[in-house]
Amino acid sequence: MTMVTEQSNSTPAPVRYKRPRKRRINWGLVATYVAVILVTLTMLAPFIWMLSASLKLDRDVFAFPIEWIPDAPRWQNYVEIWTKIPLGLFVYNTAKLTIIVTVLQLLTSSFAAYAFAKLRFPYRNVLFLAYIATIAMPWQVYMVPQFILMRELGLSNTHMALICLQAFTAFGVFLMRQFYMSIPDELCEAARIDGMSEYGIWWRIMLPLSMPALSTLTIFTFVNTWNDFLGPLIYLTKTELKTIQVGIRLFINQYSAEYGLIMAASVVALIPVLIVFLALQRFFVEGIASTGLKG
């Protein structure tokens, strides 16, 4: 028995290749990127100039045109700033005040925010609005009464005066309260049914869930306290108590100013702030965005 196989004589149809379409340039997106780059360079220019000036002699700091990269960098400036003034002591004083104030603000702000967000008591909203309204009042308005109060308490010319005045902040309470409002009340109710106290709810439930907001408040508090100039200038007159922002003024005398050393000390003062921001920046945007979800 023979098997007959039929072979098809039909040929496959030719494959047509389509020319790839040219991608249109989104000029709006290009313009946005160019604008962002220009704004970024504009914001970074003063810091780049400061870094460049810290490696120059005083006579070359304000030379024009600007020499962004010095031909002969003067690294000696970073050595002299530690010997001409007690810069190490100033850094220690600033770090001590900043760490203490930051920790106290985190504790007081988060604790008060929990009360305003999750507890029910008479005139809660009125008290909250009255407290938050103090943000609109400039510090210069009550600067003199605060100084008189600290002087009458015997805290003038001490670090304790700055710590007491900066340990509480209405902005921190507002930031934490808005974040707590986004946490479901059912979590607190379930914890109360299980017998947990309000302190336990705050410590074991609210704080672990509020790391983005705490990180955001840490950045704001650290930067503001570290860069504070008027507070230490008003309350601290002894050299051994001064902070780095006030201590840098010692490079300015009656007849001249050592601008190269001032810029070098400013670079040193900027490093801790930069480290804290880079360490917590991944929580920063999340904390800002999540504080307005509910309220």
Confidence of residue 91 (pLDDT cuts 50, 70, 90): very high
pLDDT of 148 higher than 60: yes
Amino acid 70: pLDDT: 84
> Using CA atoms, how far apart are residues 108 and 120, in angstroms rounded to an integer?
19
CA distance 282 to 280: 6
Say whether pLDDT at 93 is over 50.
Answer: yes
Residues 6+ apart with CB under 8 A from 210: 110, 176, 179, 180, 183
Through-space distance between the first and last CA atoms of the chain, rounded to whole angstroms: 89
pLDDT tops 70 at residue 2: no
pTM of the model: 0.81
pLDDT single digits (tens) 185-236? 888 888 888 888 888 888 888 888 888 889 889 999 999 999 999 889 999 8
Q: pLDDT-derived band of residue 98, with 50, 70 and 90 as boundaries?
A: very high
pLDDT at 104: 95
Q: pLDDT tens digits, residue range 245-274?
A: 998 988 887 677 888 889 999 999 999 998
pLDDT band at 295 (very low <50, low <70, confident <90, very high): very low
Instruction: Report pLDDT digits (tens) over 12-42.
Output: 555 565 666 666 777 788 889 999 999 999 9
The answer to whether the CB of 30 falls within 8 A of the CB of 12 is no
pLDDT recorded at residue 1: 45
Q: What is the mean pLDDT of the chain?
A: 85
Cα–Cα distance, 62 to 67 (Å, whole number)? 9
pLDDT of residue 163: 93
Q: List all residues 6 or more positions away from 226 whose beta carbon is below 8 Å from its beta carbon.
A: 94, 98, 245, 269, 272, 273
Which of helix, strand or coil describes residue 257?
Answer: strand
The fraction of the chain above a pLDDT of 90, given in percent, is 28
Percent of the chain surpassing pLDDT 70 = 87
DSSP letter for 183, please. S
Across 162-166, average pLDDT: 91
Q: Are 180 and 113 in contact (CB under 8 A)?
A: yes
74 close to 58: Cβ distance less than 8 angstroms: no
Beta bridge partner(s), residue 257: 252
